[in-house]
Amino acid sequence: MSTLFTPFSMGPVTLANRIAIAPMCQYSADEGIASDWHMIHLGHLALSGAAILFLEASAVSPEGRISPKDLGIWSDDHAAALAPIVAAMRRHAPIRLAIQLAHAGRKASSQVPWEGGANIAIDDGGWQTVAPSALPHADGETVPLALDDEGLARIRDAFVAAAQRSHALGLDAIELHAAHGYLLHQFLSPLSNQRSDQYGGALENRMRFPLDVFAAVRAAVPATMAVGMRISATDWVDGGWDIEQSVRLSQELSAAGADFIHVSSGGISPAQKIPVGPSYQIGFAARIRAETGMPTIGVGLITDARQAEEIVARGDADVVALARAMLFDPRWPWHAAAQLGAQVDAPPQYWRSQPREYKDLFGPTTLGQR
């Protein structure tokens, strides 16, 4: 019996198996509005056999976009553009749907990756960024404005409004993006947060704004909708955010009603030194899971079915998330189920593709043709 293909519940949301599709920015929106690319991209991933699909980082305000081409959900028009995409996925797949709500903070105003990904200066068509402190991500980049109380309230309210739109779209879960050097992570890390008020300094203060945003979002949507957070467990920089602080944050989130924690790492500083390798972040997920008991998603160079099976069977994470591997092989869950002797959901239009040697891969199927 494969553990990877057993059901699991993240709070109110039950997953058919332990495979998640992590959020992956597509940089293909027009002023934040979803395009036909999103219909194609999300539609084919919805047929993958994974249990839950996280829509890419969706900016809660225009200045919160990583790039000018980021997806947004800061207005009803943005939600309306996503509605037919969500409806199409609902018609053809039982996959659970989640959204990652994000604000890029000082890492906003960037070129799309295939154009280099560099900071776009204000004089070159970029925009003024904001952050906990007036510290740029790297030397020579736009210096962000340090957020005042009014700015903090505006951003918190933008997260709330985006959460309410996400619920109205019929999505199952919300993930707040507090990883990879974006705004909520910037508040957590002492490398980017040098405030002297109630939001800076001690760990309790640096956690305050991300926890305030979480509490506001959790209160804004029904308990039937799962709400969690993605974090960077470490900055991979001496003196930065680390696993001990991540455990403390996770404990606070658990007490505040978080339904899951999604454990990644890095992104706050160009000085990071990441020892990249298979499952390189799973140890962080395992520790957080052990010390909080919260449903935990592990991610990071998970590419092989047996690798994923071992992670969940050992209890290092409850769910594994794949990103690049899923782009490379959009039927990865099918192939994993075949390798592990398990079953996976597939649309009836594709039942004919079931290999002869895996007669029960798609469960009970009936096919006939004249």
368, burial (CB in 10 Å: exposed 0-12, middle 13-18, buried 19+)? exposed
Q: From 263, 216, 215, select the one nearest 241 (Cα to Cα).
A: 263
161 residue type, one letter: A
C-alpha to C-alpha distance for 188 and 269, rounded to whole angstroms? 13
Q: Beta strand 260-264 with 296-299: parallel, antiparallel or unpaired?
A: parallel
**Tokens 């009803």 map to which residue?**
76
- Which runs of consecutive H residues, i.e. helices, occur in the chain? 36-46, 76-92, 149-168, 183-188, 203-220, 243-255, 282-292, 305-314, 324-328, 332-340
182 is catalytic: yes
From 182, 199, 280, 350, the catalytic residue = 182
Check residue 257 and report its DSSP letter: T
Cα angle: 154, vertex 261, 294; to 5 degrees: 125
Q: Which residues are catalytic?
A: 182
